[in-house]
Structure formats: C-alpha cells, structure tokens
A and B are shown apart, each in its own frame.
Chain A
Amino acid sequence: MATTDETDWAGLLVKVRDHQDRAAFAALFRHFAPRVKAFLMKSGAGAALAEECAQDVMATLWQKAHLFDPSRASVATWVFTIARNRRIDALRKARRAEPEELDWGPDPEPDQAEVMEAQQETERLGRALAALPASQRVLIERAFYGELSHSEIAAETGLPLGTIKSRIRLALEKLRHQLG
C-alpha cells in the first residue's frame, strides 16, 4: 500500500483467518484495541468495562475471521460493527436483529482491485470527515458515540457515501447473477 505507516490490516486479518496467525493477531490488537476502548469510553463505558469489552471485541475478531471478506469491507469497518454490537449488548442491553446472511462467503480469490478499493474507503472517508465543517463532524460523532436518539440523528452527513453504496450494490448484483 501507499505510505510506510499504513499497514495492510486486511492482509493481517486474512492471515488470522486462513492460518490462525498469532503475530498477525497481535499487530491487529495493538492497533485496534486502544481505538475500540476509546470508542466504548466515549460511548459512556467506564475504563474497566471498556477494557473488558475491547478484549471481547478482539476475541470476536479472531473467532469470526472466517466471515471477513476484504473485498466487502475494510478491517476498521469490520471491527467497528463488532464493537458497536458489543456496546449494544453491554450498555443498552437491547437486541440488534441482523439482516439475513447472504449466500456468499469470503471469495478465496478476491479481485485485488476490489480489495484495495474496499480497504482504502476508510482512509478516504477519514479525509472527508476531517474536511467537514466542525459542527457537522461533531453531529456525526455524537450519533455514532450514542449521544443522539434515533429521532435526533440527522442523516445528511455531507460524506461521499454514494461511491461506497455503488461498489457494494455492484457486488450484490454480481452475486445475485451467480446465484441466478
């Protein structure tokens, strides 16, 4: 990948997935666990609970690695969804129904261009977030850190989400076509 401090998280998670690679897991842990802990604390968890839940999230990352498809989502997005679900369990004690799993597993030979695109989305969105007016960025953060109720959430993000939607839409069409 492009810059030196940018690690190939997807490559590491694929190693965890395919070879139960502990060194790869340790690298993922060092990067993501402190972020998950911060995310949970900003969402209202105390330090001890956040630490415990971050441990759970990373263990889930290990356990569910077989579901990770690097051509569908970036590792950061994947970790976020696990952390969000853990937060719902721990803090809101509500159940979150998940959509029906599609009949697609990780493609053993994913298209490398598609993988690259999916993995770069996080970085691209991060830049777009940073470029937003502060007031708007704060609203998005408050929504995701659980400070806004669903009726207070303003859906207009100002972020370029259309490209991500289109990419996934295309992949879904391809899949439906294959399932025929």
Chain B
Amino acid sequence: MTTIRHHLSDQLLMAYAAGQLPEAFNLVVATHVSLCDECRARAASFDAVGGALLEEAEEIAMGEDALTRALERIEGLPQATRSEPLKPAGIFPAPLADYVGGDLSAVRWRKVGGGVKQAILPTGKDASARLLYIPAGTAVPDHGHRGMELTLVLQGAFADENDRFGRGDIEIADEEVEHTPVALAGEDCICLAATDAPLRFRGLIPRLAQPLLRI
C-alpha cells in the first residue's frame, strides 16, 4: 500500500456507519476505505457503536409466528459459500469499478476543455459523483465548494498552496476552502470527486484560459 496522508474525517466515517451519507459520498468513502487500512479500522469501530446500540435497544416483540416463518424461510435458502473476493487489476478499487462497469477503459469521458475530461457517475440526486481526468501540469477545475466536496486521488497527484495529494489521499473541502489545486507533472491525474452541492462549472474556463503551471 502507498502511504496515505489525507484521511476521511470521523464525521464522514460515523455518518457512513450510521447509513446517513448520500449515495455519492458512500461511494467515495467505500473507495477510500478499500485503499486505506487505517480508515477501514476506524470505520469498523463506528460499526461497533451501532452494534452496541442494537444490543442495548429495547425489544419490540415479533409477531407470534415470526420464528416459525423464519425457520420455514431459511429451509429454502441455500447458504452462500465463500467466494474469492474480486480484486480488480486496474486503478479502480472494487466499489468504484462496480459503478463504472469496469476499469479506466470503461469510463465514458466527456471533454470539458483544456484537456480536462469528466464522467458523471449514476448516483442518487442528493449528491453527485464524477471522475475527473486532469492532464499533468493542468489546474484542477473549480469544483465549487458549496456544500461539502470530497476529492479522492486514484492516479497521479495534485497539490495546492499547502498540501500534496497522491493516490488514496482524500481532500475534504467545504465552503471556506479557497485554493488552486494543480495536477502535478509526471502522470495525468485521475480523481473521484463528490459534492452535495449542485454541480456547477463556473470558473473552469477562465482558469484554464490562464493555465497555472507554477508547481
């Protein structure tokens, strides 16, 4: 595993454990956790909170014939046997490969200008997820920090004034963050980004008109 320096917040992990994230955020969290043992362990500890709450919960009696019905039901149910987990060979961890329907070659990119491409992934409407392809040395399109925006690097790296984000790193930005990330020289940068604000593209064209290649 590569060294991941930028992780999910406790707030996101707890909301994921509680089942309260929009679908697009679930995808980003699951993809990061697939790459990050630290967050996998943290996520499991929040699941354990759910377990403790369930155990402590008051009981509400099941219907009288509930157990009989359950026993009848499992009678007809084959127990699945363990299958080897599918380990995708490409750069997309399993949950993302699942959404894309394959690896990089299956992505249906749309050009958005300046060599930047994006592909919007099908998720529920309360937040949106997309893949971004940013040629090395190009400014990352303004992904409009209204609401919360998560950006997970899958290939290459980007940096802003303060930090560098490589494969597996996640940037969590809110309205206060104002920065100018640029894909680093070397490998083209591919990111999974999700936001709970409506998508907007304002800022993309002006910024690409004067490419920021300083880094």
Segment 17-62 of A: residues with Cβ below 8 Å from B: 20, 22, 25-26, 29-30, 32-39, 41-42, 47, 50-51, 54-55, 58-59, 62
Residue pair B74, A62 in contact (C-beta under 8 Å): yes
> Per-position contact with B for A124-168: 1 when CB-CB < 8 Å, else 0?
011011100000000011011010111101111101011011101
Asked if B148 is at the interface of the complex by the 8 Å CB criterion, the answer is yes
Contact A99 B33 (CB under 8 A): yes
B contact face: mostly helix, strand, loop, or mixed: helix
Give, as a whole number of angstroms, the nearest-CB distance from B31 to chain A.
7
Q: What per-residue 1/0 map shows which CB atoms of A60-104 lie under 8 Å from chain B?
A: 001111110000111011111101110110001111111111110
B1 proximity list for chain A (CB < 8 A): 176
Q: A99-B95, A100-B85 are in contact. Are A74 and B48 (CB under 8 A)?
A: yes
List which B29-79 residues lie within 8 A (CB) of chain A. 29-31, 33-34, 37-38, 40-63, 66-67, 69-71, 73-74, 77-79
Q: Contact at A84–B50, with CB atoms within 8 Å?
A: yes
The interface residues of chain B lying within 8 Å CB-to-CB of A85 are 19
Which residue in B60, B67, B126 is a CB contact (below 8 Å) of A37?
Answer: B60
Interface size of B as a range: 35 or more
Point out which of A25, A67, A81, A130 has the most chain B C-beta atoms below 10 A from its C-beta: A81
Contact pick for A122, options B14, B40, B43, B52, CB 8 Å? B52
Can you list 5 A-B contacts with CB-CB less than 8 angstroms, sorted by A residue number? A25-B74, A51-B62, A80-B50, A125-B51, A162-B45
Binding site for B on A (CB under 8 A): 20, 22, 25-26, 29-30, 32-39, 41-42, 47, 50-51, 54-55, 58-59, 62-67, 72-74, 76-81, 83-85, 87-88, 92-103, 105-106, 121-123, 125-126, 128-130, 140-141, 143-144, 146, 148-151, 153-157, 159, 161-162, 164-166, 168-169, 172-173, 176
List 9 extra interface pairs beyond A37-B62, A159-B49, A165-B45, CB under 8 A: A42-B57, A55-B66, A59-B70, A63-B80, A99-B33, A150-B25, A153-B11, A168-B41, A172-B40
